[in-house]
Structure 1
């Protein structure tokens, strides 16, 4: 199987009657990598995907696949496979006919086409389903048919628009593993659109977080989650706590942030912010600790537990630190820390390295 293609977008824009759906998107994607466009509804991720596919004409900008400018090339000449959320299967065709449709359009010899169809049906676990019709299949099986159809002609690039959105959680997790496994096995280049943060973190080599038609972050899943560069990304990806603060000192060594709501100061890395700057301390719930004598933390604040949500392997606690300040603390349910009861006073702590100071 051939390796996937490289992809480059240069200042890609799309305007609809003055409204900017995409406002200058640029990125480079190496062959064989998995990129997820992540963002809320209306952020421009699907419009970007449709322009790459050739289903929407850019207002300006360029699209290069393997160095070839395909900005104005018709969709069927771009050598791109597409998987949609609603599968887009032909109900009057059998499974084998659906998968073989792209080969028929490319006038591939019948014997070769039949072999390729069977190969890819086996690859997605549907080797015995070729003669069935799509209405006889479950949602997960239909999605496998759509995936086989997108791959059967060995496209250089595969685009997926929220392909797992209609499946239940168990099937979604299973299909995530299967898609990622096929991508790695075949060396595919994949651009994947979703608003599901967990899906993006699980499957991607890189994540482009979109907001208002722009890419506001382009990084690995670990970097996107652990060290987001701005407040939007920090708030959109995963659970977050934001504590308003003011930078007190930004010296070369340790530095301090003052929390006006509590009139206390804490240690924080404020080196990239000028003294006197309003900012926010960003910290994930799992990085906070409900402290006891065996788990001292550099920063500790007094609070009261106001709520608990049981999550199975862990629990999420709400802790009020002041009249206008509440944080969430997530911790395992077994073998960690002292018992916590709603209504009890407690101490919440964290290490400076577990928090990031972001511009307010």
Structure 2
């Protein structure tokens, strides 16, 4: 592994995914950007700016001693909770499409939910290492982690951002599992969360429509099933080889969010099965290297941190792909490194920076 930049294969997979995203994001967004901003490269310019910022965060994480992160756990936890509360305040949080998920920072918007994933992973890794075998004790080992997870989960549901809440829960509960938590405690947590998930879905009309559309998208192809039907059409038209870069038709005001949530559909249409498989392989390589780094870390904190960072990226990628392929209900999650989106890109690049640091300092 590289001494200065860490795992070169992990870095190469990340760079290729980012390059893939810039190319396909431009193809997917050009028509929308031209109509909205009279500039077909508007989203590309923004994404390039975010890529530069993300690269700086990656470099900073690469140079930061992982033990230093432990000193920042609680201040970062307080800051993240504060931002998640502020985003819910009507005159502070920015509402788009009925969801209040963004804070306006000058000319750009920041999504605190993305920071919440990073913070939750960092806190859980720190907590597992600090408590050690006491994690088996419900009151003093498991409960503190459950309280933090529950607070994050509730605040994310209030935005509402069920997709990020689900990813966060998957990652934290998986970390607790590998950290030695009792299966009975984890099972009880899962059962206790079911009523809240049911209320979150049943209590909002658009989520009910998404579930019904997932079960039968062709039952209402012009309304609730429109997104999935257009996604299926994109993959169907792409076939094995694809229609060619820039030649896709579903992105032309048929496929909703073609440059963000449904960019994988555009890849399937324009680059076909070959292009979609290439993206899956790159993610598989990234996840393989990430889990390998975790396995080779000698200290528990670093091992848990690498596992959580890797799973955070993997879970979001799997859910995004599952949604556009119709095997999961629509969640509103971006495809890491590939979708257009500043907050997601910056945080995910920082997470890769942490992994590169761990690969450099803890591999034998």
Greater percentage in helix: 2
Greater percentage in strand: 1
TM value normalised by structure 2: 0.22
Greater relative contact order (Cα < 8 A, sep 6+): 2
Larger Rg over CA atoms? 1
TM value normalised by structure 1: 0.23
